Structure 1
Amino acid sequence: MVKNIMIIGLCLGCIGLQRTIAQENIRPAEKKRVVSPEVHADNKVTFRIFAPQAQKLSIVGNWMDRNAFGGNGKQAMQKDGSYWSYTTEALPSDLFLYQIDIDGAVLNDPLNVYQVRDVSNTFNYFLTGGEQAALYKVQDVPHGTIAKRWYESPTLGSTRRLSVYTPPGYEAGKTKYPVLYLLHGMGGDEEAWPSLGRAAQILDNMIASGKIKPMLVVMPNGHVSNTAAPGESSRGQYPIDFFTPDVGSGKMEESFADIIGFIEHNYRVKKQKSARAIAGLSMGGSHTLFISSYLPNTFDYIGLFSAAFRMNEKAENAVFRDFDKNLKRQKDNGYRLYWIGMGKEDFLYKTGEQYRKMLDDIQMKYTYRESEGGHTWTNWRLYLTEFLPQLFQD
């Protein structure tokens, strides 16, 4: 125990030397600013950290084990005087997460102020160059707005929060827009797609380039046992659960009409089936396939990104009990796009195969996209950029 305390104290002491002094304090300008991470023109990335007394440092990055669920491979850093450094091979065009392991204590990079939360952990992030990552960056284009809105859910008997993206010019105009309902995975919340998914940046950039139609994007909280993201509700600051009690209960599916009603009452949107789309990743993919069948004449565009299927075999309600009948009604009612994306190494790959066979058996048409890698935000951001251009084109 004493050894662990000493290690953590050492790490914090090393890192403290690098942190910027508070704004009200004044100090002489540094001779040379140390940059970490430094993204080079060839997409190699160099990390640096000041830790003169540390014995072993490693970079823990999600690109090192791309196929794992929360992959966290390590690469050793090399010491040069008081600094440690590591340079990657050339990385793909994407957004990446990482941390630094200092003698067994895994911490964030003190030289990188850019952080993002994923479930109950925070990570540093950086973006490389290239065409795909350019969609995830803030470009000099007209920008939409992401608002955090509270809505009443009579079905759940609670007031809940969601995120709403409105396209550039929405506030000053009178145009009515189509809507995409975009759902997160297990452990996520209404902040997952705006932060990890870079939804606003993708939408701004693709609208500006003319690749997609302007639209509203609604990103609700799919864990009905929580009313909002951690720290954003009256529940206060609580330990964040990955698997909440509501997972697979069908309550999200049963209450989804409350979300549609709120949006169509409070925003200038088109209210016909041809102007509604729904898509989701993992648990949100499960929500998507069950919501779109439970409300079988509501959405013309459906997107399943690494979708799960039944997540709780014990749950019994109309969402699951009548699924086969609802799916056939959805097929008979017609739709314009049923899009499925799955990584070749995804742990849900077999689940996806089984679900596609179910669709084949009833001759329900779909578009299938198989990508490299596994159950990762790399794939889900990619799928969003490929799904969006197919929406609302008529």
Structure 2
Amino acid sequence: MDKMRFIVIPLFVLWLMGGCVSIGQPSCNNYAGTWELVANVDDSNCSGVGQRFKQVFVVNQNQCQLTIDGGIQGDIKGQGITWSLPSGQANGGTITYSSALAEIDNQVINGAYHWQWSDANYRCSGTTSVAGRILSDQEAAKAELGEFAMQIKHPMLSPSENSQAHTFSITAKGAKQVYLAGEMSDWRPNVFAMQPDENGLWSITLYLAPGAWQYKFIVDGTWIADQNNSHSVPDSHGGVNSVLLIGEEDLLLKADSAVAHGNIIEADLASKHLAQTSAYALYLPPNYHTSKQDYPLLVLLHGYGNNYKQWIIDGKIQHLMDNMIANKSIEPFIVLMPSAGTSYYKGQHESFIMQELLPHVAEQYQVKAGPGYSAISGISMGGAGAFYLAHKYPKQFGLSLPLSGYFDMEMYPSFSWQNFTLDAELTLFCGEDDSISYPSNRRLVEQLNQQGVEFSYLTAEGGHTWRYWNGISEQVLKQVSSFFAQ
């Protein structure tokens, strides 16, 4: 999956200062000279991480009109400068600008403008603020013209309420660049640059909120787990992510010897569609084997390149179910976790799950029949699968809860918005800091609104991480239980 990266072309910041109308005013203040600006780009709505640039350039003035090399111009009125800009192409889409105001007071410059970026499938917007000054002649003579990227200090580099300091370190003698990447950066590779000492020990200190944090080091482009940390989980690529626990873990995610426990059943099922066996797991609630009742079924789908174990190892679904059944916040139900590799739950894997695995589970276990007792959810690729399968099999699923779904519906050859229907109840969940799935969730929301589909869309702080998914799991399971109780 390609992460969307939105980069505002820094040259456009120069346009902000491009003069404004001075009708009926015989003279204007002199703002000609060398300008030095710092531009702060807020592109968070476009899944960006923010950008900062310093720019130094020459501004010419003719009466009340300012000009900059490249044909940018405008007019002045008092200390205020208004402007308008034509649309342009950036990052494969079109960027347009709203009018804005800049002011110059005693050679100090302040301003801001709003922009919108769009392509055929997606639209987002942001703000760029600028602050700077007109340099003195002496400063201008020494200034280097151009634009220069500036480091933005991440909030986790400074203490905050309830955070704890932790220093990450790795010995990498001879390395040219080392980064820390993980749930603290939403797995973006270039957010936290580490610094070396004279012995080749690279380190960085972050201030982290309580809970578990998965992470890796990136040494000259190679992703490496922390060899000094024995706590790890599979990373979906044949390796592992290191795990750091700050403070206490959520009690719902921990095994509690004081409550009754369900059973995790791991099994293989021979598949004609796959021409091989496929592994899956079931969570059976406490007292299942002595109960004569039938139970509703939740199908939980894993993410790209993983398998059924992801919801057991990372999602800790067995502890959540045990603890929530014990505290009576949910009623018991069965959880089915299939494996689907990188299939997006289409093709042969779709046929296996829908035509072989679900009938097998219904036959072998005490499962209530009917869409009113069947729900489907999943993360990332599994979120897309939960949406797609609920649409395609309305007689199977009555509730669909995609979690940070990565929605590229062109991956599904049989899918068409022209004939789209959805009988199942639908709630979309996505973290506001999710650099992978947030843009595709916004696109899906717009399309669903155009189709007149009833649904809910819930966002909260968080990225494309198990910190976010673990944080919303209690809410998700409660919604599943409430649906079954209707």
Question: TM-score surpassing 0.5?
Answer: yes
Aligned partner of residue 98 in structure 1, secondary structure? strand
Q: Of 289, 296, 302, which aligns to 1:171?
A: 289
Q: Which residue of 1 aligns with 2:214?
A: 97
Q: What is the Cα deviation at residue 362 of structure 1?
A: 3.3
Structure 1 residues 75 and 48: alpha-carbon distance in aligned structure 2, compared to 1, 3 A threshold: closer
Q: Which has the higher contact order (CA 8 A, sep 6+)?
A: 1
Q: Of 433, 443, 468, which aligns to 1:345?
A: 433
Q: Distance in 2 between matches of 1:148 and 1:159?
A: 13
Q: Which residue of 2 aligns with 1:320?
A: 415
Aligned partner of residue 187 in structure 1, secondary structure? coil
Aligned partner of residue 215 in structure 2, secondary structure? strand
Q: What is the Cα deviation at residue 86 of structure 1?
A: 6.5
TM-score normalised by structure 2 residue count: 0.57
Q: Which residue of 1 aligns with 2:164?
A: 44
More strand by share: 2
Matches within 5 A, 1:226-375: 244=342, 246-247=343-344, 249-257=346-354, 258-310=356-408, 312-313=410-411, 316=413, 319-320=414-415, 324-325=418-419, 327-328=420-421, 330-331=422-423, 335=424, 337-346=425-434, 347-375=436-464
Q: Which residue of 1 aligns with 2:474?
A: 385
Unaligned runs of 5+ in 1: 1-41, 224-243
Unaligned runs of 5+ in 2: 1-161
Structure 1 residues 265 and 350: alpha-carbon distance in aligned structure 2, compared to 1, 3 A threshold: same
Q: Distance in 2 between matches of 1:298 and 1:309?
A: 21
CA contact (8 A) 2:296 2:367 kept: yes
Q: Distance in 2 between matches of 1:166 and 1:378?
A: 25
Residue type matched to 2:192 in 1? G
Q: Of 158, 164, 185, which aligns to 2:303?
A: 185
Q: Distance in 1 between matches of 2:300 and 2:372?
A: 16
Matches within 5 A, 1:206-225: 206-223=324-341
Q: Distance in 1 between matches of 2:189 and 2:291?
A: 42
Q: Distance in 1 between matches of 2:473 and 2:398?
A: 17
CA contact (8 A) 2:164 2:210 kept: no
Structure 1 residues 350 and 72: alpha-carbon distance in aligned structure 2, compared to 1, 3 A threshold: closer
Q: What is the Cα deviation at residue 179 of structure 1?
A: 1.0
Q: Distance in 1 between matches of 2:254 and 2:165?
A: 17
Q: Distance in 1 between matches of 2:376 and 2:439?
A: 23
TM-score normalised by structure 1 residue count: 0.69
Q: Which residue of 2 aligns with 1:118?
A: 235
The total of aligned residue pairs comes to 318
Aligned partner of residue 270 in structure 1, secondary structure? coil
Structure 1 residues 70 and 250: alpha-carbon distance in aligned structure 2, compared to 1, 3 A threshold: farther
Q: Distance in 1 between matches of 2:375 and 2:428?
A: 14
Residue type matched to 1:362 in 2? Q
Q: Distance in 2 between matches of 1:357 and 1:106?
A: 36
Q: Of 180, 185, 194, which aligns to 1:60?
A: 180
Deviations for 1:43-95, whole angstroms, at most 9, x for unmatched residues?
A: 525458797x96889783524313x457873545889x9x9986542x22432
Q: Distance in 2 between matches of 1:297 and 1:272?
A: 7
Q: What is the Cα deviation at residue 286 of structure 1?
A: 1.5
Q: Which residue of 2 aligns with 1:230?
A: none
Q: What is the Cα deviation at residue 126 of structure 1?
A: 3.1
Structure 1 residues 205 and 128: alpha-carbon distance in aligned structure 2, compared to 1, 3 A threshold: farther
Residue type matched to 1:119 in 2? S
Aligned partner of residue 392 in structure 1, secondary structure? helix
Matched, 1:161 2:279: yes
Deviations for 1:281-331, whole angstroms, at most 9, x for unmatched residues?
A: 221112111111111122121101111233655x63xx425x653x42x33
Q: Distance in 2 between matches of 1:350 and 1:101?
A: 26
Indicate the RMSD between aligned Cα atoms, in angstroms.
Answer: 3.5
Q: Of 457, 465, 471, which aligns to 1:376?
A: 465
| Larger Rg computed on CA atoms | 2
More helix by share: 1
CA contact (8 A) 1:96 1:127 kept: yes
Structure 1 residues 102 and 364: alpha-carbon distance in aligned structure 2, compared to 1, 3 A threshold: closer
Q: Which moved more, 1:134-143 or 1:210-219?
A: 134-143
Q: Distance in 2 between matches of 1:159 and 1:252?
A: 11
Q: Distance in 1 between matches of 2:367 and 2:190?
A: 40
Residue type matched to 1:114 in 2? H
